[in-house]
Structure 1
Amino acid sequence: MTDPVLLVEDDISIAVVITTALEDEGLKVVRCDSVAERDRLLACERYSALVTDVVLKDGDGIATLDEVRRQQPHLPVIVVSAQNTLDTAVRASDTGAFEYFPKPFDLDELVRAVTAAIGNADAEARPLDGEGEGALPLVGRSNAMQAVYRMITRVLRNDLTVLILGESGTGKELVAEAIHKLGQRSRGPFVAVNTAAIPADLIESELFGHEKGAFTGAFARHIGKFEQARGGTLFLDEIGDMPMQAQTRLLRALQSGTILRVGGRDEVPIDARIIAATNKDLAPLIETGRFREDLFYRLNVVPIQLPPLRERGDDVDALAGHFLGQAAREGLPRRNLSKEAAALLRVRPWRGNVRELKNFIYRLALLAREEVVDRAAVQALLADEAATASPSAGPAMFDGGNYNDLEGALHRWLAANAPEPGHIYAKAIAAFEKPLLTHMLDTTGGNQLRAARMLGINRNTLRKRLDELGIDPEYFAARVRG
């Protein structure tokens, strides 16, 4: 007969529900409500699985699992917790937990996890190598984010390729950084590449490197991003914008596990985890021949879908508080939100997602007059933004669309976004290119030839970028026609 399941839960109602569900599956359950009683029971009898809460009256259910491992080394552990943070999920994963469930959880899923854990009880448990509490980059306890946290924990102990999907501003790079920081390649470099910000004729050299003399201007060997990420993680952002020729070479690299520098002859082994991300729906790109289907399947080994902020419930409150604290640590005035102000932020659609919310909170911290920001102050700033926003370019980057304020806008953008060293150029280009092109079309009344001449670029290049950025020149031409 199967050994009993040990349930450690100090909430009597939850304990009864779990016990009943497990007993309905034919399992015997022994129940207790403390770390001390858990350890006493483990010393007296063998168990087939342990289901434990985290916050118990006399200790931390995760932090004390070393004693569980000492007494019954191969006992599978299922963690349940109301501390619904990425840190809790990662701690559970690091201690070798078979599964982690945030409260409230799906009871049927919990029962299936316990029975699966018992079936795998002979497998050796992972060692206790967690790093404990730490400042992690993701904020939010909504059900949508819990699904993300659970997916992150499942890829930390392997090198499977991950494809992160989500709207612009949802935090795709933060997820990639979390996987790197918390995973088995954390001691290596994290190399991020915005494939949309690199000219098509340079992207292969940037990714794979080139040999001296490979082309005009190649005066020395250049080590590409794949080799720079050796021992660590290579993050390919905006993969949906990668040119087809580069897609073909990337596919070959992933298939063979090697790269070939431009102009080179010797294959160089890949020693980096690959994480890709896109804010585009790749299915129509595949159907129209703009993205390789075979490359999609190579990248889409483990997909992680990030929810937009509008689907994350009260996470807006937590994020706003987090960004207010972050702004204060960076030298801006310390602010707090009134309940009415926070409620107003919760109902805003935040089309720019977390990035838009962060920028708004930083501006609020700078411009608000009182330490406790009330609803009126939030409404006033929202009204100011609505008045200066361009209907075709999204939130205004230039004050009133004034091109002469570009330098000032850049300084404000850097202050608000604080991009990581090594990523500033690509992120600045990505942030300013669309409003810059929009301004030029507005200035020229939609005349692409004149706009291209003013910018000093080829008209075909301008047309291509307008198409990729979703800017319609006809809108500006129609405005001129009245």
Structure 2
Amino acid sequence: MAEILVADDDAAIRTVVSQALSRAGYEVRVTSNAATLSRWAIEGEGDLIITDVIMPDETAFDMMPRIKRVRPDLPIIVMSAQNTFMTAITAAEKGAYDYLPKPFDLKELVTTVERALAQPLNKPAPTESEDQLNMPLVGRSPAMQEIYRLIARMTQTDLTVMINGESGTGKELVARALHEFGKRKSGPFVAINMAAIPRELIESELFGHERGAFTGAQSRSAGRFEQANGGTLFLDEIGDMPMEAQTRLLRVLQEGEYTTVGGRTPISTDVRIVAATHQNLTSLIDRGQFREDLYYRLNVVPLRLPPLRERIADVPDLARHFLAQAERNGLPRKVFDNAAIDRLRAYAWPGNVRELENLVQRLVALHPQEQISAEQVEQELASARPGNKTTDFADGTNESVRSAVAGYSRALLDAHNDETPIEDLYTTVLHEMERPLIEMTLRAFKGNQIQAAKVLGLNRNTLRKKIRELNIEVMRGLS
């Protein structure tokens, strides 16, 4: 029977953890301080440690290196109420088996213990990092805690990661965190955005070209794979990569080598690939626009970044973080009043974290008062909305519409409760949503089908056809 050592200065935590582990069949010893825990472990007691980070006499992060020097194979699970990105990263760097943010689910704790005890011995502990970097990701919401934990696990591997998220959610920040806190941090981090490069030049940008390979190639040029050798290559907006380049990329991932455009000699490559997209790649596969075999090569570890509207609780922390950033960059010190924070939390943030960062920068630069009010926030939100009213609903309901769509999306994901979805789900959802969507848009534009078609992204004739098929009444005189 395995023995678990538990350390936490909170008696209630010690009790519930001890009871849960005892029910699962483990022997449990508990203590309220780091000194006793350290002594037990160094003397050879216990098969696994569960410890809080902040203890009365010493932090777990200070204690863990001593234990690891004597018992490098002893699994240590760290728990903490300081649920930041750096807590998760530091836990991984110190050699923790896993990090659990408080409050945690006891079933998850028991499952983690079972998994840790089943791991093979002699697994090398990660080396300590001496980098003192600014926190790259901010937020304490449950959604972000999962991101932190996944990043912490992936930093000590070379597995390919696929980041999916809307524009402005921070995909490149996550890619940089995987690099800066990982095994390849001493190597280069090279990013390339597929959507920002002409399609005919992507292969040359990725793999380089030889002199004379094409018109204008007056000398040899190194590609991004060569530039990133020994480090990380971040392939942003991978869904925009042309099929020809996809084929060459697949070969690199399979064979570990490539040839330059116009070259014949294979070049070996040693890079970690992190890819990102805001698109649904499986839909692109269905339409023949993305290779299925490449998708599975890239999607080894999928990581979904939640939009800001799904983690509104993080908005105050993010806003204050951007205020502090602005102050470090030489701008005046500012603070938000409570009403301003409430207004920020009430907004839907269609542009995600990037929109919030831009808003904070404008507020700091344009308003002389030290305290930022809700009225100033509203003023800047209004001024940032597109001036062309064909892209906004006439009654100003963009925000509520986005919130409604987000709520519908969450409800749909939760509805099946992990059961098999109903047959023909795609058609059913479209049928249920299409009529109210078209009616709402027509009503917002007082029946103007030209403006409604533009907002909906439909051809005017297609919209007319749908109006007839769905028997939608249109206000006369503005069609």
Q: What amino acid does structure 1 have at the position aligned with 2:114?
A: T
Q: Which residue is equivalent to 2:311?
A: 312
Q: Which residue is equivalent to 2:10?
A: 11
Q: What amino acid does structure 1 have at the position aligned with 2:104?
A: F
Describe the shift of the 1:286–1:89 C-alpha distance in structure 2 as closer, same or farther (beyond 3 A): same
Q: What amino acid does structure 1 have at the position aligned with 2:122?
A: A
Deviations 1:409-436 (A, max 9, x none): xxxxxxxxxxxxxxxxxxxxxxxxxxxx
Contact 1:76/1:121 (CA < 8 Å) preserved in 2?
no
The within-5 A match list for 1:423-462 is none
Q: Which residue is equivalent to 1:324?
A: 323
Describe the shift of the 1:7–1:272 C-alpha distance in structure 2 as closer, same or farther (beyond 3 A): same
Deviation at 1:39, TM superposition (A): 2.3
Q: Which residue is equivalent to 2:84?
A: 85
Describe the shift of the 1:272–1:44 C-alpha distance in structure 2 as closer, same or farther (beyond 3 A): closer
Q: What amino acid does structure 1 have at the position aligned with 2:162?
A: L
Q: Tell me the secondary structure at the aligned position of residue 204 of structure 1.
A: helix
The within-5 A match list for 1:108-257 is 108-120=107-119, 122-131=121-130, 134-257=133-256
Contact 2:257/2:269 (CA < 8 Å) preserved in 1?
yes
Q: Tell me the secondary structure at the aligned position of residue 391 of structure 2.
A: coil
Q: Tell me the secondary structure at the aligned position of residue 262 of structure 1.
A: coil
Deviation at 1:44, TM superposition (A): 4.6
Deviation at 1:175, TM superposition (A): 0.3
Q: Which residue is equivalent to 1:280?
A: 279
| Counterpart-to-counterpart distance in 1, 2:371 and 2:265 | 62
Deviations 1:310-353 (A, max 9, x none): 11132100110011111122232221101110011011000010
| Counterpart-to-counterpart distance in 2, 1:172 and 1:228 | 21
Q: What amino acid does structure 1 have at the position aligned with 2:116?
A: A
Describe the shift of the 1:373–1:258 C-alpha distance in structure 2 as closer, same or farther (beyond 3 A): same
Contact 1:75/1:125 (CA < 8 Å) preserved in 2?
no
| Counterpart-to-counterpart distance in 2, 1:73 and 1:209 | 44
Q: Tell me the secondary structure at the aligned position of residue 263 of structure 2.
A: coil
| Counterpart-to-counterpart distance in 1, 2:70 and 2:227 | 44
Q: Which residue is equivalent to 2:381?
A: 382
Q: Which residue is equivalent to 1:429?
A: none
TM-score relative to the length of structure 1: 0.79
Q: Which residue is equivalent to 1:55?
A: 54
| Counterpart-to-counterpart distance in 1, 2:338 and 2:387 | 27
Deviation at 1:58, TM superposition (A): 1.3
Q: What amino acid does structure 2 have at the position aligned with 1:130?
A: S
TM-score relative to the length of structure 2: 0.80
Q: Tell me the secondary structure at the aligned position of residue 200 of structure 2.
A: coil
Contact 2:42/2:67 (CA < 8 Å) preserved in 1?
no
Identity of aligned residues (%): 50
Q: Tell me the secondary structure at the aligned position of residue 59 of structure 1.
A: coil
Deviation at 1:471, TM superposition (A): 6.9
Describe the shift of the 1:204–1:121 C-alpha distance in structure 2 as closer, same or farther (beyond 3 A): closer
Describe the shift of the 1:390–1:114 C-alpha distance in structure 2 as closer, same or farther (beyond 3 A): same
| Counterpart-to-counterpart distance in 2, 1:263 and 1:299 | 26
Deviation at 1:230, TM superposition (A): 0.7
Contact 1:205/1:261 (CA < 8 Å) preserved in 2?
yes
| Counterpart-to-counterpart distance in 2, 1:184 and 1:370 | 45
Q: What amino acid does structure 2 have at the position aligned with 1:218?
A: A
Deviations 1:213-234 (A, max 9, x none): 1111111111101101011111
Q: Tell me the secondary structure at the aligned position of residue 341 of structure 2.
A: helix
Moved over 6 A (4+): 470-475
Q: Which residue is equivalent to 1:351?
A: 350
Q: Tell me the secondary structure at the aligned position of residue 214 of structure 1.
A: coil
| Counterpart-to-counterpart distance in 2, 1:219 and 1:471 | 43
Contact 1:87/1:133 (CA < 8 Å) preserved in 2?
no
Contact 2:126/2:156 (CA < 8 Å) preserved in 1?
no
Q: What amino acid does structure 2 have at the position aligned with 1:78?
A: I
Q: What amino acid does structure 2 have at the position aligned with 1:277?
A: A
Matched residue pairs, number? 404
| Counterpart-to-counterpart distance in 2, 1:32 and 1:347 | 44
Deviations 1:372-406 (A, max 9, x none): 11112212222333473654399xxxxxxxxxxxx
| Counterpart-to-counterpart distance in 2, 1:166 and 1:185 | 24
Describe the shift of the 1:233–1:127 C-alpha distance in structure 2 as closer, same or farther (beyond 3 A): closer
Q: Which residue is equivalent to 2:413?
A: none
Q: What amino acid does structure 2 have at the position aligned with 1:335?
A: K
